[in-house]
Structure 1
Amino acid sequence: MDLTDPERRPCPGQVVRVLRGREAGRYAIVIDVVEPHFVLLVDGDKRKVGHAKKKNVKHIQPTNYIAREVAESLKEDGRVSNAKIRYALNQYLLQQERKKGE
């Protein structure tokens, strides 16, 4: 899958899984698309909004889940709180746990 294609590129508010680097295996939320091959990622805990991680799109695995409250906040205000990021990630992870239990 070519994530550099504009239709497949992760969008702000989308939950992704980091595949490479120190934070490999962790989940984060895209808050901005910087260049054609890079996105800014935050998790609201270790990686706060003020210190977003610039990551190559080849090193992440996008999920089908978009945190609506985060995406709307980014669209309206251009910023989002760390608490909202943590809440959205926790909701996604709880949803995944429920799917595994079924």
Structure 2
Amino acid sequence: MSESESIPQIGQVVRVLRGREADSYCVVIEQLNERYVRIADGEKRKYDRAKKKNINHLELVDYVSPEVRESIETTGRVTNGKLRFALSKFLNDQVLDLKKGEQIDG
């Protein structure tokens, strides 16, 4: 594993690979150490009840939410609404990328 992909950043979107929440997307809200982070999605997993997760059980996505990162850096926390917004923005961008050039069935 290369050095750049092994360390998730605050505000980075990740896909959960293992556990009950497998295949769901969350946002990294805290780096605990080189092996663990805390993640939340603002909906099922609120900021106040963030999940401690081994980074080996996460797939790092090449997307960092500037709103989440800025909020955590300035206030030390982030609202659940902002987490939901960041994830929906990311997922909408992903869908748009997949649909480019394809006919969308209505």
TM over 0.5: yes
Q: Deviation per CA, 1:48-97, whole angstroms, max 9, x where unpaired? A: 00000000000000011000000000000000000000000000000000
In the alignment, does 2:19 pair up with 1:17? no
Task: State the SS of the aligned residue for 2:32.
Answer: strand
Structure 2 residues not aligned, in runs of 5+: 101-106
Structure 1 residues not aligned, in runs of 5+: none
Change (3 A) 1:91 1:29: same
TM-score, normalised via structure 2 length: 0.90
Number of paired residues?
Answer: 100
Q: Which amino acid aligns with 1:38?
A: Y
Equivalents in 2 of 1:7, 1:56: separation in Å?
14
Let me know the Cα RMSD of the aligned residues: 1.3
Of 19, 32, 35, the residue aligned with 1:34 is: 32
Equivalents in 2 of 1:18, 1:7: separation in Å?
15
Match of 1:66 in 2: 64
Task: State the SS of the aligned residue for 1:35.
Answer: coil
TM-score, normalised via structure 1 length: 0.93
Off by >6 Å, runs of 4+ in structure 1:
none
Q: Percent identity?
A: 45
Equivalents in 2 of 1:29, 1:79: separation in Å?
13
Q: Which amino acid aligns with 1:86?
A: R
Of 26, 48, 51, the residue aligned with 1:50 is: 48
